[in-house]
Structure 1
C-alpha cells in the first residue's frame, strides 16, 4: 500500500474503494513509487482534485511538477520507473503493444463504468452496506499509516449519505434500466476475456503481465472481491443479496478465477526500480 511518510514526494487523491483508483495504486505500488494517499468520499473528492490541478475525477497523482489526472497516464508514469523487461506496456516496435493498449482502452471505456454502475445500483439503496464498504476501505488505509479523514464516522456518514446518494443516482444514471445496460456491457467484456483464456494462457497478451492484465483485474475487482485486494471487501453477509449472488457467479467463471490469481500472484509484487531511480 501507500508510503505513509509525510515526506513522500507524491500525493494520490482517491476515493479509496474506487476501482480506477485501485488501478493507479497498483501501478505505483508495483513500481515502488512513494506516495501518500488522501482519501475522500464520493463527491467530496471533487474540490481537492481540482485544487490539486486535476479535474473532478480521481485518481489524481500530485507531484511538485504538477498533476497527472488519468489512471492510464499514471500507469505510464509508473512504467518509466521500472526496467524495460518489467514494463506494463511493451516497448516499440513490439507488435503486442497495440493489442495491450487496445484491451486496456476497452476495459477503461466499457468494463470500468459498467462495474461501477452495477455495484452502486445494488449498494446505494443499502446504507449499512455502503457504510461497511467505506469503513473497511479506510481501515485498510489506516493499516498502511494513513490517518482517517475528519468525516470518518457513522454520524457524519448518516447526515451525508442521503444527499450523496440522490446526486450519484442522477449523475451516473444509477437506475434499473442503466444497470441492465451495464450488465450487457459487462457480459460482453467477460465473454471476450473468457474466450481469450480458453487456451490456458497465463496473461491476456503474450507471456508477461501487462497493463491489460492489471486494468482488467483492478476494474473487475468490485464484482469479484479478490482475497488479496488491499482494500478488503465486506463479508458476503453484509452485501445486498443481488450483489452477493452476482459476485458468487462471476468468481466461478474463468475471468473471475483469472482476477483472483492476478491479485494473489501480482498485486503485492514489486517490479523493481531502475538503477538510476
Structure 2
C-alpha cells in the first residue's frame, strides 16, 4: 500500500494492543490513509522504532518525509488527507479548537498512562490472561493481512514473558502505589468527562467528532473493552478484579460514550479532501 500522493509505502510500527497505537491506527483508518502495520512485542519494539527514525516508544509512522513518532502528530498527519470540516483538529472556531487541543493533551498526559498502568497492574501477574491478549492480537493481525515477524509467536512469548514483565514493571513503575495513584487520575478524568456529557451532547466539543473524542475513546479502551475494537481484548479471560473495574466504568456516562464511539465512529471514513 502507498502513501497518498507520493507512492512510497507507509509503515505503522506498533505494539498491537497499545492504546496509543490504536489512537494512531484509528486516525489513519478514518482518513483512508493506507499503511502496513508492523507489530512487535513489548520491549522488542524499541530497536525497529529507533531504526525507523523514531524513539523507543510506539507508534511510529514511517513516511516518505521521515518518521512521525508521536500519536498526536500522527493525528495531525492524517488530518491532511480529509476535508478540513472533518479534520480532527481544525474546522472549528478558535475557542472550540483550543478546547479540543486542551482535552486531547490532558487525555494523552493523564488518561493514557493511568489506564495503561492500572490495566497492566492487574494483567501482568496473570500469564494466561496476557497470553490470551497476545493470541487475540495475532489473530486480528493475521485476519487483516498483516504478517508479524517470524519470531512474533506464542511459544516465543511464553519464554520471553517473565523478562518482559519484569522490565515493564520497572520502566512503567507498575506497583500497588503507582496503580493507586493512577486510579485517582483515571477517576478525575472520567468525572470530568461524565460532567461534560451531562447535557446530552453527542461529542465532547461542538457537534462533530474530533481529536478529543478519538483520544478519549482510544486511551480509555483498555478499561472499557469496547466492541468493534480492531484488536480483541479477551474479556472473559481477564482477572476478576479487572473485569469488575471494566464493568463499573462501562456503566458510567463516559464508559457508555466510549462504547458508542466505537460502534458509530471507529470504522467510519472521513473522506478525501475536495479535489484530492
TM-score (norm 1): 0.95
Alignment-derived partner of residue 146 in structure 1: 146
Residue 171 (1) aligns with residue 205 (2): no
SS at the partner of 1:95? helix
Q: Is the 8 A contact 2:38 2:148 kept in 1?
A: no
Q: Is the 8 A contact 1:140 1:232 kept in 2?
A: yes
Q: Is the 8 A contact 1:123 1:130 kept in 2?
A: yes
Alignment-derived partner of residue 90 in structure 2: 90
Alignment-derived partner of residue 43 in structure 2: 43
5 Å matches for 1:15-54? Answer: 15-54=15-54
**Aligned equivalents of 1:105, 1:148: Cα separation in 2:** 31
1:148 Cα deviation (Å)?
A: 3.1
**Aligned equivalents of 1:205, 1:119: Cα separation in 2:** 28
Q: Deviations for 1:6-56, whole angstroms, at most 9, x for unmatched residues?
A: x87200000000000000000000000010000000000000000000000
Alignment-derived partner of residue 81 in structure 1: 81
1:149 Cα deviation (Å)?
A: 2.4
Q: Is the 8 A contact 2:122 2:241 kept in 1?
A: yes
Structure 1: gaps of 5 or more residues:
none
Instruction: Give RMSD over aligned pairs.
Output: 1.4
Alignment-derived partner of residue 228 in structure 1: 228
5 Å matches for 1:159-238? Answer: 159-236=159-236, 238=237
Residue 112 (1) aligns with residue 112 (2): yes
Structure 2: gaps of 5 or more residues:
none
Q: Is the 8 A contact 1:8 1:36 kept in 2?
A: no
Alignment-derived partner of residue 158 in structure 1: 158
1:274 Cα deviation (Å)?
A: 1.5
How many residues are treated as equivalent by the alignment? 272
